[in-house]
Amino acid sequence: MWKFVSDQLDNAELLATTGSTRPRQAALRRAVSTAYYALFQALCELAASQLVGWKQPWEAFTPIYRSLDHGHARTVLTETRGKRHALGEAVEKVGIAFRELQDAREWADYNPEPHPDPEKALADVRFSRQDALELIQIARQALLSLDALDDHAKLRLATLLVARRRKETRR
């Protein structure tokens, strides 16, 4: 696992566990956002390291790293053929984690309501330390699944994450 992303998750955990009394909502929200970005950046790294390689100059590596798009990554990771993902069960599980984390991050960064679940927000149930820790663990699990992919699956996933279908590029 890329040290940068495992450090990101350590940071997220630090934020989620800080304070002995009632956790600060700002800290929990930052923890969730950081956990999502750890997974997103792991995907960016996977694409750039598979398609370019760390040994290549930054001018080749960085554009591929930066080419990933949040919405396209979600489509690539969550689209299935019937019940199953074309790249297998491990990628399907990464997709499930990505979807959970992306939704939570959208709430954490942009929504003033106290919980990502609208019904809970309506009932004034607030996001908890344990909710944040659960999402961090989900991100950690997704990173392990990504790491465990064989080279062929990594390369196929990297290509899909960077390439746009013709229909998408015409938009």
Partner 1 sequence: MQNAVKSDEAERAIRTVIYDRVGKSVVDSVSVTSSDDAIGEPSFFVTVYLKNGRDRPKAEKTIEMIKAMRDALFDLDDDRFPHLSFRAPEDEESEDTRPER
Binding-site string for partner 1 from residue 41 to residue 70, where x marks contact by CB under 8 A and - marks none: ------------------------------
User: Contact with partner 1 (CB under 8 A): which of 6, 11, 62, 141?
Assistant: 141
Residue number with CB closer to partner 1 (52 or 76): 76
- To the nearest whole angstrom, how small is the minimum distance from the Cβ of residue 50 to partner 1? 23
Check residue 37 for interaction with partner 1 (CB under 8 A).
Answer: no
Distance of CA 8 to the CA centre of its chain: 12
- Paired strand residues for 81: 84
Cα–Cα dist 128/33, whole Å: 15
Check residue 10 for interaction with partner 1 (CB under 8 A).
Answer: no
Place of tokens 């992303």: 5
Q: Cβ distance 125 to 115 under 8 Å? A: yes
Cα–Cα dist 39/138, whole Å: 10
Cα–Cα dist 55/7, whole Å: 22
User: Contact with partner 1 (CB under 8 A): which of 63, 86, 130, 148?
Assistant: 130
Cα–Cα dist 157/78, whole Å: 12
Instruction: List the structure tokens of 117.
Output: 């679940």
Q: Cβ distance 43 to 68 under 8 Å? A: yes
Scanning residues 67 to 126, which ones bind partner 1 (CB under 8 A)? 82-83, 92-93, 96-97, 99-100, 102-104, 106-107, 110-111, 114, 116-120, 125-126
Check residue 36 for interaction with partner 1 (CB under 8 A).
Answer: no
Q: Enumerate binding residues for partner 1 (CB under 8 A).
A: 22-26, 28, 82-83, 92-93, 96-97, 99-100, 102-104, 106-107, 110-111, 114, 116-120, 125-131, 134, 137-138, 140-142
